[in-house]
Structure 1
Amino acid sequence: MKNHIIYTVIFLSVLLFNFNLYSKDIIIFVTREYPPYVSEKLNNFGFYSEIIMAVCKESDIDCKIDFYP
């Protein structure tokens, strides 16, 4: 019985570790329309959004920019 518990704990630890190893988080930035600085209609969503996406790319972070009213 004791070995069964130890094996279960080891199995769950390895399983959880592997999911964390292969998963990658995405940071979602939320903004409003502030033309000419930030807008869905601008190329790369505007100057400030382009800076944020470049910094995230340099840091190997996946990011997304969402616009809400």
Structure 2
Amino acid sequence: MNDEVIDEVRAIRDAHAARFAYDLRAIYADLKRSEAERIAAGHPFVSPPSELPTPNSALQRTRFAHR
């Protein structure tokens, strides 16, 4: 399945990775630097939840009941 948006995101991601010779440590450092700059500029930052939500097993059972 081809999707223009997905293709564009993948192209941007690939171009970003290529800038750092696909070095994951360098890519991570750049993302953290960019994050710090955005926070310093006043953009909101939402921390991830401290706990993962527990799945509702009753809901999980009924989700696939009609398949």
On whether the aligned pair clears a TM of 0.5, the verdict is: no
Higher helix share: 2
TM-score normalised by length of structure 2: 0.31
Higher strand share: 1
TM-score normalised by length of structure 1: 0.30
